[in-house]
Amino acid sequence: MDHFVLQTILLYTTLCFSTYQGQVPETQEFLPTFLKVSRNLPLQRLLVEWDVSDLAHQFELEMVFDIQVSQTEEMNVVWTLAVAEHTKWLTDCRTVKFSGTRRNVNSGEYYNTTLNKLNKTLHWSWDSELPLECMSHSVRIRSMVNDERFSKLWSRWSQWETVLGLDTSDDYTPYIFPEDKVVEEGSNVTFCCIGGKDSRILNFLFNYTDYYYPDSNTSQRNMVITMNKVLHAETPGIPAFCNISGKGSKNYSATHLFVGKPPPEPKDLYCDTRNMTTVTCTWNPGEDTYLYGPYSTKYHLFERFSQKPLCYPETETYLEPIRCSWAIGQQMIYNLTLTAQNPLGERSAYFVLDVAHRVHPFPPSDLSVEDMKATEVSLYWSMQPKHKAIKLLCQIENRHPSGQVELHNSSVVQSNSYPHLTLGGLQPFTNYAFRMRCGAASHFWKWSEWSKTIRVRTNEAAPSGKLDVWREVTPVLGGWNVTLFWKPFPDFRANSGGISFEITWEKLEKASEPEHISISASQNSTTISIDNHSYKISMAARNNITSSLPSVIIISRATDNGAEEEVDHTDLEEERVNGTVDGIYISWKATNAFHGYIVDWCNFPRSQHCDFQWKRFDFNTSSCLINSAAFMPGVRYSFRVYGSLANEDFFLGKKVGYTKELAPRLNPQGEITEMTSHTVTITWDSYPINESQPGFIRGYHVYVKTMEEECSLKGSTKHALSDGTVLCKYTIENPEEKRYMVKHLMPETTYALAVKAYTGGGETPIDAYIHVDTLHDSKIYLPVLLVMVHFVLISAVCFWKIKWMKDCCCPEIPNPNKSKALSCNGLKLNSEAVMKLSDCIPDTVVLENTSEANTLQLWSHGTILESESKVINPSWVYFVQNEEGDLMCTQSAPEACTSFENLAYSSQTALGSSLYQNLWMSEKSEPQLSILSYQPQHYIEIPSKDTVTSLREITEREGSLRYISQMEVPRSEVKLSNLPHSTEPLEHSSYKIQTVLGSELVTSTSDEDNHSKNSSTSSNSTVLLLLGRH
Amino acid sequence: MGVVIAHGDVSRALTQGLFIQCLAHVNSSTAPCRGCHLNSLGKITAKARQMEKEAKELFRSYLTHQGLLTSELRQLCDEAIQWFPTENIRDQPKIVMLQELYRTLVHMNDALENIRKQQQVLSTPGAALHGKLESTQWAVKGLLSNTVCTLCLEGVLPNSRRTPERPAATNTFQQKIDGCKVLGNYSKFLKKLARGSGKKAPQALRDQRKRRKGTKRKEGSSRS
């Protein structure tokens, strides 16, 4: 405080003295003096020095300096700085015109300085974004005392102090700046091209392809351009190239821009010692900096305790790890600093290293085996370092031939010792591969690399375990052929190189000399022959040492189960089992009677060497899924199941199945064996349904292709093919049935037939048809033939009785009254004659039941009961032969004889259908045919009884009632038209024409009518068939 | 420059050493220039033919890799290098030709060393150009050895006089252009060397024809 007061008093005294002398007025200015400006080109820095009067120093005034920096000769200010007390910041912004471009400089900076009495020169520097060589830079300064005791007025500006740029030189050499600059990716870089004297910049090329041109307004000797956010290039060094025209010998200036990144932090840094002599630190450089050669990242490792650098490794490439090694002295703990540095910056990592915790031993050497036995070996090895013992823990890897790996740890050993380890539990006569590695027992850091591998084979021993033996028994004359198959059980081990199989068999019932054979190791099956006795067969493996325990199976004699099944059970019904892609599922009934079960099968059942397989199951297993890589779809596999009891095996059943059924490959060879006009019988007797098929044959499909678009065959189903063709399909579900009769076919028609067998896998598409033409239908001419026969017979009778016929029907005087046929008493057929019913005396009256009347009333003889006259309306007139042999007209009822019934009309239901049946006979029309055959007999009998009915009418009735109704009835009607109650025939006539054909075809529902319908259908079919033939 | 000279000195020392060794053998045994093939000139021609293709490929690879294929930059490589012979050295007398070849190859070996060093900055570490430059330098060394052998067989000491060089450029771009010029000139030089003499070829052909006629006459006379 006292010091401050003293200073203030002194200052005022000095100022008063100065005022008195007229030198320091109240507006005292301290003009900056001795202004000097220079450049640091590598740093692109402008260095400014100046001074103020000694008085300012003497009073240690705080001053503010306003500094202006200008570029170009026009003194455009690009920077103003106020150097003042540090509590106040100034910011200035000036716009400066460059010769090539326009830029804003917006920045401010404070620089805290306090004058002192030592009269030190004041310094200030300014870093330029634009290379300082590009143009002239000038600086001027003014000052202001920053003290409340003084008025705050700026002094006058100092004179401009200038450093000239190369654009002012008289040199003809072109330049470009900055040269070979290294910048960080993403930064902005300002280039300037300077042409020689009287030169002109034509263009600027950056990175091979980007062209820039100078403003036409500028002098064009100097071009400044800023490249923003530059990126690294694939090839280091981005060229910046200026084309220049002028007097100089060189018409370009060019440089490279190296764009990269600051060094990344080293990765995966670790240090360790391998021999306790040297320590090596390793790290990865990290990501690429894109800077190479002299610009690449440099490292140095510095130890802080000893204050010594340890090494200076360089990166050749960022991909390879970097190593740094130094010798270990007494120092075991290091405080390390790893620094990575390149032109764009540096990164450091700090860590402390305790060498005792970072021991990474060398791999063990001289690994050897001694004291080899069948199940154990002793391993010996040596380690490092020898000169300085450390405790090591070693690990032995034992690799089995199967690839299984076991690791065994040794006890702690000294590195300078010669330790060994005994490994037990090995398999005899087995190849093993041993290798080992070691690590520090205390402060484990890292395992050594593996030692070299040694391969050894343990010594031989007796075979262990048993053989799994199975058999297949085939009957031969006088005994059996037993084929033995064997494979090792999982626990079986040969334990030797030379192995053979010993087979011994002997009779069970009576003592006999056992037979013996030896089989080489390469075989896994053999066949022996035995007689019909029961045998015990033993099998063992033998090596150079001794034999294994024998496996025993018993083959019982033929009467026993064991062998009997081979004979009898082969005919047992096979049980079909289902298969999937995962295998074929087999099941059996498990009982307590057996110790286990065996399933055997062939992997290739169609091959001679069928690759016989078997599998054993324990006593409580009742099913299994059998699978094999050899199983194929479409192959039938046969599995035999046995129960095992005390070395004896009992056949339990046979299963067959497919992993997947396929459609039959072979088609049944269909053959037409029978054929009629309406049926075709096809057979395929030779088609196999055995195991050769790729699936179980479930049945057959018979396909019939007609000329019609739709399937219309009775009993068939439609089957549409992919091409749109519709077939008739018949299914035969019994695979044993290999014959089928296709019915309901049309005569003289072409059909295409095909037979396909189907399995669980379906059937194959139809690829061929058998074409067949049905036969001609001869029955169609039968009615015509019958009519012809009748006609001939009647004609013959007529001819034979011609005289009688003439007398009877055509007397010499043609007078109806003389006709015996119409010899009713008093009946006159002339115009006025009226037949009196009382004159008609019937000879006989026949009483018929209603049903008969319904069916055969037309042709019944005798009278009709009154009670039935209502049903059978109208009543009938009977022509009855009188005693004289003439026909007499008799009256059944007083009213019944008043009119004639048109025969055709009155029988329209019964007779009409019969007529139709007569014309169109079918197989089902036999009952009707019997009626028809009966009816003509009446007609034949009529003449024989000298009836008066004309032969022609009879014939016509029999042949065609239609003919009768058209020709005869009208004529009769003409004659009878005047008779009372005779008007109905006319109505019948008109009705009959419509109904004879129509009603029978459409409305009838009786059996006969059904037959008629069938017949009519047949008739229609015939027409269609004819069309079809066209 | 210092580095270039240093390498040049090494090369020169090597070749002179080899020559001295050859001379020593000449003096000490009946088979002077031991290890040198008698037809070393033929070997040189054959080797030059082989190297011509490699040099062409190297030049193209350099242009591509260094981004010098644009017309502005490509034309910078066409400038002649002072230390490459302007004329076809095959047109000159054999000894002169060998001396010129020797001098050029010594320069070329140094220049290649320089280019390889420059490429440490201008190429990524795994770039194929490094391998090609190394291969070319080995080929140049081999041809230099053959040349020394031929001179040895001719009993001539290699000329140790060297053309003074311009100072090496400090600007990496100029170094790149200088390397390009060297490789371009080298390719042209080998092209001339491999194709033989432009002037003496007819004379050689005439000599060859004469020799053939002579042998035919001899054959004809022997038949008659």
3-state secondary structure chain B: CHHHHHHHHHHHHHHHHHHHHHHHHHHHCCCCCCCCCCCHHHHHHHHHHHHHHHHHHHHHHHHHHCCCCCHHHHHHHHCCCCCCCCCCHHHCCHHHHHHHHHHHHHHHHHHHHHHHHHHHHHCCCCCHHHHHHHHHHHHHHHHHHHHHHHHHHHCCCCCCCCCCCCCCCCCHHHHHHHHHHHHHHHHHHHHHHHHCCCCHHHHHHHHHHHHHHHHHHHHHHHHC
Query: Residue range A943-952: average pLDDT?
Result: 39
Instruction: State the pLDDT at residue A1015.
Output: 37
**Which residue of chain A comes nearest to B65, CA vs CA?**
A235
Is the pLDDT at A22 greater than 60? The verdict is no
Is the pLDDT at A450 greater than 90? The verdict is yes
Query: Residue range B169-174: average pLDDT?
Result: 84
Counting every residue, how long is chain B? 224
Is the pLDDT at B165 greater than 80? The verdict is no
Residues from chain A contacting residue B125 (CB–CB below 8 Å): 292, 316-317
Interface test with B, best of A252, A318, A322 (most B CBs within 10 A): A252
E strand or H helix at A741:
strand A739-742
User: A208-222, A708-722, B184-198: which range is least confident on average?
Assistant: A208-222
Instruction: State the pLDDT at residue A262.
Output: 94
Cβ-proximal residues to A619 (8 Å cutoff; 6+ apart), any chain: A590, A592, A594, A595, A596, A597
Query: Residue range A641-646: average pLDDT?
Result: 90
Instruction: State the pLDDT at residue A318.
Output: 65
Instruction: State the pLDDT at residue B103.
Output: 92
Instruction: State the pLDDT at residue A666.
Output: 87
Instruction: State the pLDDT at residue B12.
Output: 46
Q: How far is A478 from A533, CA to CA, in rounded Å?
A: 10
A1024 touching B, CB under 8 A?
no
| A363-405 residue pLDDT tens | 999 999 988 889 999 999 999 888 888 899 999 999 988 889 9
A791 touching B, CB under 8 A?
no
Residues from chain A contacting residue B121 (CB–CB below 8 Å): 236-237, 258, 292-295
Is the pLDDT at B5 greater than 60? The verdict is no
Instruction: State the pLDDT at residue B69.
Output: 86
**Which residue of chain A comes nearest to B173, CA vs CA?**
A255
Pairing of strands A583-587, A579-580: antiparallel
Is the pLDDT at A112 greater than 90? The verdict is no
Q: How far is A50 from A58, CA to CA, in rounded Å?
A: 16
Q: How far is A859 from A901, CA to CA, in rounded Å?
A: 12
Query: Residue range A458-472: average pLDDT?
Result: 91
Considering only CB atoms, A179 lies closest to which of B67, B171, B177, namely B171
Instruction: State the pLDDT at residue A247.
Output: 79
Q: End-to-end alpha-carbon separation of chain B, Å?
A: 71
A2 burial (CB, 10 Å; 0-12 / 13-18 / 19+) is exposed
Instruction: State the pLDDT at residue A654.
Output: 92
Instruction: State the pLDDT at residue A585.
Output: 93
A60 touching B, CB under 8 A?
no
Q: When comparing pLDDT for A147 and A112, which is higher?
A: A147
Interface test with B, best of A41, A292, A318, A322 (most B CBs within 10 A): A292
**Which residue of chain A comes nearest to B64, CA vs CA?**
A235
| A82-104 residue pLDDT tens | 554 322 222 232 323 233 332 33
Pairing of strands A575-577, A648-657: parallel
B66 touching A, CB under 8 A?
yes
Q: What is the mean pLDDT of chain A?
A: 74
Considering only CB atoms, B72 lies closest to which of A179, A241, A294, namely A241
DSSP A775-800: PP-GGGGHHHHHHHHHHHHHHHHHHH
A293 touching B, CB under 8 A?
yes
Instruction: State the pLDDT at residue A561.
Output: 45
- Structure-token pair, residue B198: 């432009």
Instruction: State the pLDDT at residue A958.
Output: 40
Q: How far is A409 from A397, CA to CA, in rounded Å?
A: 9
User: A323-337, A634-648, A810-824: which range is least confident on average?
Assistant: A810-824
A241 touching B, CB under 8 A?
yes
Q: When comparing pLDDT for A982 and A9, which is higher?
A: A9
Query: Residue range A901-913: average pLDDT?
Result: 39
Q: When comparing pLDDT for A1008 and A502, which is higher?
A: A502
Instruction: State the pLDDT at residue B162.
Output: 64
Query: Residue range B199-214: average pLDDT?
Result: 51
A1020 burial (CB, 10 Å; 0-12 / 13-18 / 19+) is exposed
Name all domains of chain B by residue range, CATH numbers in brackets. 7-217 (1.20.1250.10)
| A667-704 residue pLDDT tens | 898 889 988 888 999 999 889 988 889 999 999 999 99
Cβ <8 Å between B172 and A241: no
| A848-896 residue pLDDT tens | 444 443 433 433 333 333 333 333 343 344 444 444 434 333 333 333 3
A642 touching B, CB under 8 A?
no
Q: How far is A54 from A118, CA to CA, in rounded Å?
A: 9
Query: Residue range A334-342: average pLDDT?
Result: 92
Cβ-proximal residues to A863 (8 Å cutoff; 6+ apart), any chain: A842, A845, A846, A847, A876, A878, A890, A892, A893
Cβ-proximal residues to A550 (8 Å cutoff; 6+ apart), any chain: A466, A502, A504, A538, A539, A540
Query: Residue range A628-636: average pLDDT?
Result: 91
Residues from chain B contacting residue A178 (CB–CB below 8 Å): none
Cβ <8 Å between B72 and A295: no
- Residues 22-51 of chain B with CB under 8 A from chain A are none
Of the pLDDT bands very low, low, confident and very high (cuts 50, 70, 90), residue A260 is very high
B28 burial (CB, 10 Å; 0-12 / 13-18 / 19+) is exposed
Of the pLDDT bands very low, low, confident and very high (cuts 50, 70, 90), residue A1029 is very low
User: A607-621, A904-918, B130-144: which range is least confident on average?
Assistant: A904-918
* Inter-chain contacts counted by CB atoms under 8 A, chains A and B: 63
Q: What is the mean pLDDT of chain B?
A: 76
Is the pLDDT at A771 greater than 70? The verdict is yes
Counting every residue, how long is chain A? 1030
Query: Residue range A748-774: average pLDDT?
Result: 90
Considering only CB atoms, B122 lies closest to which of A205, A235, A255, namely A235
Instruction: State the pLDDT at residue B68.
Output: 87
Residues from chain A contacting residue B174 (CB–CB below 8 Å): 254
Is the pLDDT at B208 greater than 80? The verdict is no
Q: How far is A65 from A154, CA to CA, in rounded Å?
A: 9
Q: How far is A644 from A596, CA to CA, in rounded Å?
A: 5
Q: How far is A197 from A222, CA to CA, in rounded Å?
A: 10
CA distance B122 to chain A (A): 5
Q: How far is A166 from A178, CA to CA, in rounded Å?
A: 13
Residues from chain B contacting residue A235 (CB–CB below 8 Å): 65-67, 122-124, 127
B181 touching A, CB under 8 A?
no
Task: With beta carbons less than 8 A apart as the criterion, state whether A97 and A86 touch.
Answer: no
A565, A562, A569, A504: which is closest to A533 by C-alpha?
Answer: A562
Q: How far is A542 from A523, CA to CA, in rounded Å?
A: 14
Q: When comparing pLDDT for B192 and A57, which is higher?
A: B192
Cβ-proximal residues to B27 (8 Å cutoff; 6+ apart), any chain: none
Q: How far is A554 from B55, CA to CA, in rounded Å?
A: 89
Q: How far is B220 from A562, CA to CA, in rounded Å?
A: 106
Is the pLDDT at A789 greater than 60? The verdict is yes
Task: With beta carbons less than 8 A apart as the criterion, state whether A704 and A753 touch.
Answer: yes
Instruction: State the pLDDT at residue B28.
Output: 37
Cβ-proximal residues to A184 (8 Å cutoff; 6+ apart), any chain: A259, A260, A261, A262, A344, A345
Is the pLDDT at B205 greater than 90? The verdict is no
Of the pLDDT bands very low, low, confident and very high (cuts 50, 70, 90), residue B163 is low
Q: End-to-end alpha-carbon separation of chain A, Å?
A: 144
| A548-602 residue pLDDT tens | 999 999 998 754 444 444 444 445 678 999 888 889 999 998 888 899 999 999 9
Q: Which residues pair with A467 in a beta bridge?
A: A488
Is the pLDDT at A353 greater than 50? The verdict is yes
Question: For chain A, what percent of residues have pLDDT higher than 70?
Answer: 69
Task: With beta carbons less than 8 A apart as the criterion, state whether A909 and A856 touch.
Answer: no
CA B123-B128-B134 angle, 5° bins: 90
Q: How far is B91 from B198, CA to CA, in rounded Å?
A: 6
CA distance A240 to chain B (A): 9
Instruction: State the pLDDT at residue B164.
Output: 62
